[in-house]
Amino acid sequence: MEKLKLFMILVLSTLLIINAVDAQQTQEKKIRKLGNRPSDANYVKPAPPKVEEEVEEEDYANLPDRDVVFDLEKLSKLATLSVYGKPALAMNGVVIAEVTVDEKGKIDIVIIRRSEFPKLSKPAHDVIYTYAKKYKLKPAIRNGKPVKQEGIQIPVLFDMSLFDNNSSSDNNK
């Protein structure tokens, strides 16, 4: 139960941050439409949100060869959360997906190769894109250059025990 509470707090805080950023962007759009009128003389434009610096092409030369990495624990939590509360989909299972990631770290193709329950194929497909959007993927590196990596086998685990009221952490209290 503690895991569920912590996970839900994390999800809710993330949603609050997203809403705050959206509100700030909406306000900035309104101000841009108004233009610089004399009444706006005291307005100080807020600094743009910090964006993780992209690696310059020459910086790749110093990096060792690497493959694209997915955090399977985070992916599993996202997958399980995506079907939580949907009785027709609330089941434990594994879906094996084959993913292609381009030179910029963007998901190019997702193909479902195997699914214990066909109903979980679509949520697994969607959650891989959600994961890539939420946790920016780093491209594969070969000979100091970012490259497209094909055929990455990703197991997507749907584990409803994450939301089980009788979890082992509660039994240890």
Tens digit of each residue's pLDDT (9 = 90 or more) over 106-117: 998 899 999 988
| 33 within some domain | yes
d(CA 123, CA 121): 6
Q: What pLDDT is stored for residue 37 in this prediction?
A: 46
Structural domain of 150: 57-161
CA quadruple 151, 130, 123, 155: dihedral positive or negative?
positive
Q: How far is CA 100 from the centre of its chain?
A: 16
Q: Are 9 and 70 members of one domain? A: no
Q: Are 148 and 69 members of one domain? A: yes
Q: What are the 10-residue block averages of pLDDT along the chain, 173 residues in total?
A: 70 68 66 50 54 53 82 89 85 92 90 91 91 88 91 91 59 43
CATH assignment of the domain containing 99: 3.30.2420
